[in-house]
Chains A and B, each alone.
Chain A
Amino acid sequence: MICPACKIPMIVVERNKVELDCCTSCQGVWFDKGELELLLDPLTGSIAGTLIENIMGLPPAETTEKRLACPICRQKMKKVDIGKTSGFIIDVCNSGHGFWFGEGETSKLIAQLLNGKPEDKDIQDKMLFFVGDTLRAGLINRESINTGGD
Chain B
Amino acid sequence: MWEQIRDNQVRTVILVTALGFMLILPGSLLGQTVLGDWSVGLLLALLIWVVMTLVGYFQGDSILLSISKAHKIGPDDMPRIYNVVEEMKIACGMEKMPDIYIIDDPAMNAFATGRDKNRASLAVTSGLLQKLNRDELQGVVGHEMAHIKNRDVLLMAMCSILLGAIVMLAWCGSRILFFGGVTRRSSSGGGNGQLIILLPAVALMIFAPIMAQFIYLAISRKREYLADASSALYTRYPEGLASALEKVGASTEQLKSANNATAPMYILNPFRRKNQVAEDLTSTHPPVSERIRILRAMAGNTSLSGYEAAYKNLHQGGGSIIPGSALLAEGSSPHAQVEGQASPHVEGVDEVRTRARETHDALWKLSNYQMIACQCGVKLKIPPGYKGAFLQCPHCGTVHSVVPD
Taking a contact as CB atoms under 8 Å apart, the answer to whether A24 and B360 are in contact is no
- Bin chain B's interface residue count: 35 or more
User: Is residue A14 within 8 Å, beta carbon to beta carbon, of the partner chain?
Assistant: yes
Complex Cα gap A15–B393 (Å) = 11
Interface residue from B357, B379, B395 paired with A137 (Cβ < 8 Å): B395
User: Chain A 134-147, CB within 8 Å of chain B: the 1/0 string?
Assistant: 11111111111111
**B386 on interface, CB distance cutoff 8 Å:** yes
B356 within 8 A of A: yes
A13 to B371, CA, bound (A): 10
With contacts A9-B385, A14-B378, A134-B378 known, is A147 near B352, CB below 8 A? Answer: no
A10 to B386 CA separation, bound complex (whole angstroms): 8
Stretch at the interface among B55-63, B225-233, B396-404: B396-404
Pair B394/A139 contact, Cβ less than 8 Å: yes
Whole-angstrom distance between the Cβ of A25 and the nearest chain B Cβ: 9
Cβ of A134 and Cβ of B392 under 8 Å apart? Answer: no
> How many A-B residue pairs lie within 8 Å, measured between CB atoms?
112
B390 and A144 contact, CB distance less than 8 A: yes
- Minimum CB–CB distance for A134 against chain B, Å: 6
Query: What is the chain B residue whose CB lies nearest that of A73?
Result: B256
A137 near B392: Cβ-Cβ < 8 Å: yes
Whole-angstrom CA separation of A135 from B394 in the bound complex: 5
Q: Which residue of B lies closest to A148 (CB)?
A: B399
List B contacts of A8 (CB < 8 A): 385
Q: Does B202 contact A (CB under 8 A)?
A: no
Residues of B within 8 A of A (CB): 106, 130, 347, 349-350, 352-354, 356-357, 360, 364, 369, 377-401
Interface residues, chain A, with chain B CB atoms under 8 Å away = 8-19, 22, 24, 33-34, 38, 42-43, 133-150
Give 7 pairs: A residue, B residue, CB < 8 Å, sorted on A: A8-B385, A12-B369, A15-B379, A19-B360, A42-B356, A135-B395, A136-B394
